[in-house]
Structure 1
Amino acid sequence: MNTTPSKTTSPKTVLLTVAKFGVPVGIVWYLVSQIQPQQWSALQNSPKQYSLLAMALLIGLSATLLSYVRWWLLVRSHNIPLTPTEGIRLAAIGFLLNFVSIGAVGGDLFKAYFLARRTPGKKIEVFATALVDRVVGLYGLLVVASVALWMIGDSLAGDDVTLIRAVVYTLTLAGAAFMLGVVLGGSLIDRALDRILNVPMVGPFVHRIADPLRAFRHHTAAFMVTIGMSVVVHILLGVAIYFIAAGLYEHPPTLAEHMVIVPIANAVAGLPISLAGIGVFEGALDHLYAKLPTTPTDASGTIVGLVYEIVKIAIAMIGIVFYWTGQREVRESFQAVAASDDET
């Protein structure tokens, strides 16, 4: 009788697994416990507009699919063979993997890891596309917030708004100067980057971002298109969350205010604090709901954020379908990334 040794699970793996799921659950529980009874009562008594909630799901799905296409375009601009269907498949499974990873490790790592296995000799370019996709997505977020703040003008006032306005404008302008300078610059930029490399702490960080961006100097049109796509993605996300708020409450923050609130909350949620940003996004949204709207709102940012997480989970189910129907190499890559995440 043949026996196969059982694979033991190390205490470290068990603790990491508990942390992955326990920390965000604990954060969500804390946030829910902070919701006042009158807020629950107002939610229960307010008329629900389920058509708006359904629209929020469709718009959120559209934004997610557009982000998948954005990454595929970045991949193809490097002449890496990848069909649109397979690109969406990998990105969808990566989106699913974000729900079991803390911080930046997860979806981006998976899709890059899998594609690198399929395209030997293009490893650097493949991982560059994942990094640039993240940078472009963040910049699109800043652009949407900047335009919204400019359009709202003086209708939003206060020290908090002044600080937010200064930070967002500064980051948007600095990001544009950096990205366009690195991508479009010539040998002068190369020499400047070589000098920065020797600066302690700053050098390695700058080169980690600049090197992948420099790879797009021969694909400027594709790079600019992806920035535009990123802007549209974040506009759609702002609209989706506005529809959630409007579907649950009679007096939510305005759509224009959501174009400021949602990008900032998403930026905070991107910090490596919680599983897929769960709990962090809700807390940021609730804080901004209290600070930014010109007219006080009856909407709870925590409840709106929790409903948005349900929308994201519904969208992530598409990744499960792709995982089940994917080829064996897709499943093996998925498991390899999950294992590497446990070892970090």
Structure 2
Amino acid sequence: MKRFASIILRLLISGVLLVLLFREHDLFAEIAPRFHALLTNWHWTLAGILCAFLSLFLASVRWHIILRGLVPDLPFGIVLRAELISAFFNISSVGVVGGDTYKIMALSRRLPGQTMPVSVSLVLDHLTGLVSVAALFGVCMLARASHWNEVGYDLRMLITGYGMYVGGALVGLFISWVSFTPNLLAWGRRTFPRTMGHPKLAGLIARLTKIHSVFAVLWQRTLSAAVVSTGMHTAFFLSFYCGLRAVGGVAPLLDVLTAMPIVDAAASLPVSVSGLGVRERTFEALLAGLANVPEAVGVSASLAGWIFSLFWGLVGGVLFLRARHTAIIPPEAVSA
């Protein structure tokens, strides 16, 4: 019942936001004509589709780098296929089952007994994404620091809030890493034997300790994955810049790269279907404030960028329908 209510709520929020957007910017008079420009500006459209694929490809490389620390014989093609199919679930899922769930299920089926390492690798994969996005956002903010006073008050509050969110996440990540080091946990068990020895808490600590130990083994691979992740996010953000140019809009590339981490974070909130409505409103506000892009153009550009990712999601859907759900890696090839 709760899951059904969540789905209905997401559909309702996306529907309301899109209706409000299309009432504010007439769908047929202001938005639809700009989508005709996708054919006229076909080179930008093609570039956007290719950037969206490059983002998925680099996401596969990033995850594969981490996974090979656990499963050295894992072919890259399996990871790329799982990434493409997960894109389909990311755009089609309205419930709690999305791309990450599919990736865990797909690789666990092919790697018997390796569900926990696969799940941990996916956690590390996302953490590298957090670090790389924070680095990109910081570089962009430094590059346009001289224009900070030109940004309106409301937009400054939004950008500052996102900066605090990312910075707080990095600090929390560091504290978590320190908190679950074996020596500190051993001290906690000696000092607070009743609390730390409680069955429920002990089980949680054991799982977190295992995650910590996996990260300790894979930290060098995680750093390499973070470098790849920077390229992955840059390619994804560039797909929206291509979308802006494809619908006839113009804005400095730096402004788009500055806005996109915030747009992506807003679209990732579990309040809508595939970020629809939330992404467009955020992109519209940021590009209007940073680069004076007309609001209707910003909405059209955001939808175009989403369509580029939607294209590869549909390709992933075709692969999923044709997939044979059989293990293609023999258990003896899987390392312990």
Band the TM-score falls in, shorter-chain normalisation: 0.7 to 0.9
> Partner residue of 2:273?
275
With normalisation by structure 2, the TM-score equals 0.77
- Matched residue of 1:78: which SS? coil
From the superposition, tell whether residues 103 and 17 of structure 1 become closer, same or farther in structure 2 (CA, over 3 Å).
closer
- Give the counterpart of 2:308 among 298, 308, 311: 311
> Partner residue of 2:239?
240
Distance 1:178 1:147 in 2: 21
> Partner residue of 2:88?
96
Shift of 1:78: 2.0
Shift of 1:283: 1.4
- Kept in 2: contact 1:182–1:213 (CA 8 A): no
Amino acid at match of 2:147: S
From the superposition, tell whether residues 149 and 323 of structure 1 become closer, same or farther in structure 2 (CA, over 3 Å).
same
- Kept in 1: contact 2:56–2:83 (CA 8 A): no
- Matched residue of 2:272: which SS? coil
Amino acid at match of 2:129: G
From the superposition, tell whether residues 209 and 33 of structure 1 become closer, same or farther in structure 2 (CA, over 3 Å).
farther
Which sits farther off after the overlay, 302-311 or 151-160? 151-160
From the superposition, tell whether residues 105 and 40 of structure 1 become closer, same or farther in structure 2 (CA, over 3 Å).
closer
Distance 2:268 2:232 in 1: 16
How many residue pairs match? The answer is: 313
- Matched residue of 2:144: which SS? helix
- Kept in 2: contact 1:193–1:207 (CA 8 A): no
- Give the counterpart of 1:116 among 85, 104, 108: 108
With normalisation by structure 1, the TM-score equals 0.76
CA RMSD of aligned residues (A): 3.8
- Give the counterpart of 2:293 among 278, 290, 297: 297
Amino acid at match of 1:244: G
Amino acid at match of 1:53: T
- Kept in 2: contact 1:59–1:240 (CA 8 A): yes
Which sits farther off after the overlay, 54-63 or 155-164? 155-164
Shift of 1:256: 0.4
- Kept in 2: contact 1:20–1:101 (CA 8 A): no
Which sits farther off after the overlay, 274-283 or 72-81? 72-81
- Kept in 1: contact 2:7–2:95 (CA 8 A): no
Amino acid at match of 2:317: I
- Matched residue of 1:156: which SS? helix
Superposed CA deviations along residues 23-53 of structure 1, whole A, max 9, x for unmatched, are 5345333322221587459848989532112
Amino acid at match of 2:89: L
Runs of 5+ consecutive residues of structure 2 not aligned to the other structure: 197-201, 328-336
Distance 2:271 2:187 in 1: 34
Amino acid at match of 2:215: F
Distance 2:108 2:35 in 1: 50
RCO (CA 8 Å, sep 6+): is it higher in 1 or 2? 2
